[in-house]
Structure 1
C-alpha cells in the first residue's frame, strides 16, 4: 500500500507498478484527504478489479 497525493497523475508509473506486482491499483491525481483541507477521498484512477465498500 502506498499513501501519497497525486500518485495517479503518472499513469505509466501505475501501469508499471501493476505489471511488476500484479496488484490492483486505485489512485488519485489530486490531493487525498479531508475536504476542509483541500482533499478528496475519490480515487479516480483504477487498474484491475476493485472491491469497494461503502
Structure 2
C-alpha cells in the first residue's frame, strides 16, 4: 500500500536522527515524504487496480 510508505517515512523523519542529506547516500526523510506525496495521485489508482 503506497500510503504505508508515507506513514513509515513520516514516523522515521520524526525521530530527527538523520545526517544532512549531502552527507548521506539516501534522500533525507523530508525529501522522501515530499516525493511520495507528489506521486501518490499516480500510484493509488495503479495500486487499487492491482487489487482487483
User: TM-score interval w.r.t. the shorter chain?
Assistant: under 0.3
By relative contact order (CA 8 Å, sep 6+), the higher-ranking structure is 2
Q: Which has the higher strand share?
A: 1
Q: What TM-score results when the alignment is normalised by the length of structure 1? A: 0.27
Q: Which has the higher helix share?
A: 2
Report which of the two structures shows the higher radius of gyration computed on alpha carbons: 2
